[in-house]
Amino acid sequence: MCGLAGIYGMRISAHSPEKSESHLRAMGEALRHRGPDSEGIWLDPDSLIGLVHRRLSILDLSPLGHQPMASGCGRFMAVYNGEIYNSPELRQALEAEGWAFRGTSDTEVALAAFSAWGIESAVCRMNGMFAFAIWDRSRGELTLVRDRFGQKPLYYGVAEGVLVFGSELSVFRAWPGFPLVVDEMAVEDLLARGWIRTPRSILRDVSKLPPGHIMTIRLDRADSGTVGVRRESLVPRPYWRLNANPSSDWTRASDSEAIDACEELLSEAVELCRLSDVPLGAFLSGGVDSSTIVALMSRQASGPVRTFCVGFEESSEGPYARAIADHLGTEHVEVDLRESDVLGLVEQLPSLYDEPFGDSSQLPTYLISRVAREHVTVVLSGDAGDEVFGGYLRYRRGVQRWDKYVRVPVGLRAYTSPRLRAFGEGLGRRGAGRGSLAGVLDRLSRATFALSGWESEDQAYDRMLSSLPAGWASLASGGHSGSEPDPWRAWASRWPEGVSFQRGMQWSDLHGYLVDDILYKVDRAAMAVSLEGRIPLLDHRVVEFAMGLPERFHVRDGQGKWLLRQVLYRHVPRSLVERPKRGFGVPLDKWLCGELRPWGSSLLAYAETCGGLGLDIPQLRRLWELHQAGHVAAGARLWRVLVLIQWLRAWPDVSLGR
């Protein structure tokens, strides 16, 4: 687990090798938290390319694992962030073909695989989480690659013909002259969803490489003699696609056959994720997902597994996790996030999460990562269980809503849609009280508005994920009408042909919410404390298996994750895990009226002194006052705006683009 950055197409006339190396070093320093163990810089002025790497040593702790690393044949030079879990298997295959190795790092295995099989073919054989930047000396081209589900981040952008790329946005501040301009469409994403959808970033000139994509970059040599990278030439292409349709092989499978196959695959995934030369543990909330992972780890480990849990004074997961830990015999560490602790954490958010990020569970995620890092260097988590095995309540409710909606005649939909939209926006502007009649109507209009005006299932679900009516997105000045091309839909595209509404929702979440909320949160929180997080449920074989199953193995008798539960029940008594699903959210409504009230007030005051920062400050002030008076529960809406303002305050060199 590491951090990487680089430049390609640097003009020697503008940046001498010495200056370029200095800038690369500054980019690496911005990523120090991702890799505190060592730094490496490689610069080739003749090829106009430079790479920098920060290392967190997990496998092969010796200098033989140092990056940037050259392939044994000398053709490739690469920097890499992540872990290739099946590197021992790939190593054996390469040794059988005559390749020799100096050390035991998976980086060396990856470079040999590129040499033996080609970059794209090698990547398709890799099982793991990764972001690569690979320089091919013989072809004179750079290749960027991101893992199938986007567990590891990779940003890129072009300024004056120079390609800049890295693991976090902070590297772009370190390259002189890179334009730091806010993308207003990304702001709308943040305010409506709490996260920014790939391939956008909060910066207009910086994109995220989509998961499961590879991009090859070559210099453009103009007639004028200038050399550089053209933005329009950067076209990522997929090397892997997820099939969302059930496989005919499992149509008639019995329950026991599916459970056996699932347990075998999960066991293999957990065993691969346990590969480490440093201390390892697991997050344990007491829910189905994390309990399954810890149960399988306990069966494989030679001693007690170290587990970690975080809770709140108001709603702690502690007793549930403790019961599972006691049953499995783990070495359990539990910590409570108290309201008095929150203020110290929120002040760190811009540096911890890099981009503005509106999921308030970022607080406990960082806290549990910090606690775990005091004991281990690697943790396994149960993330992705809901997306992969159909656990979210919204999947069942979404099917019910869509089934009802499609029964409404098209003409009636066309008549009611604009009226529902206007009604929902009006209530949002007035701030309807939760307990009032207006509040009830507000929630009803939101539920109906989510489906109104759309004929396709994927568009309806995308609207359902936006927890605010569209009028709230217009808090960003210059709000977009939707007439501009949407880059998110360009890569996530429409639902695959023939999928059901439930399977389509899972497919959307695996490409959207999981990538840009859950995985983003886990990566930033863990890397902020130099901790490596691994997610066995995102072994691509597990995901492909689960998505190939008929829906009866996902949802049965009104309960999600049916199959995953059956695997868990083989190891943990049903009574320890059968309870209503609890999220990882924090009591924002209360905290914003308590310890976080001065923080929120100061941010609103800051926005006012800066001319509003493109936000409707009077509207926000009214919402803030209604919330403080207890007339409306607006914690989530306010949180998204406040983290945006805080990020803008922490990045004063960013322009709003107006």
Close Cβ partners of 460 (under 8 Å, ≥ 6 residues apart): 402, 405, 450, 451, 454
Contact in structure between 5 and 27 (CB atoms under 8 Å)? yes
Residue 2 is a catalytic residue: yes
Which contiguous run of DSSP H or E holds residue 3?
strand 2-8
Q: Report d(CA 65, CA 148) in Å as an integer.
A: 24
Q: Report d(CA 148, CA 136) in Å as an integer.
A: 22
**Can you state the angle between helices 255-273 and 288-300, rounded to 10 degrees?**
70
Sheet containing strand 155-159, edge to edge, reads 38-44, 49-55, 2-8, 162-166, 155-159, 206-208
Q: Scanning the structure block, which residue is given the tokens 């790092």?
A: 105
Q: Report d(CA 586, CA 524) in Å as an integer.
A: 18
Q: Report d(CA 480, CA 470) in Å as an integer.
A: 10
Strands 206-208 and 378-380: unpaired
Q: Report d(CA 92, CA 199) in Å as an integer.
A: 36
Q: Report d(CA 586, CA 395) in Å as an integer.
A: 22
Given the residues 2, 262, 273, 309, the one annotated as active site: 2
Close Cβ partners of 266 (under 8 Å, ≥ 6 residues apart): 292, 296, 536, 537, 542, 567
Sheet containing strand 280-283, edge to edge, reads 331-337, 306-312, 280-283, 378-380, 532-534
Catalytic residues: 2
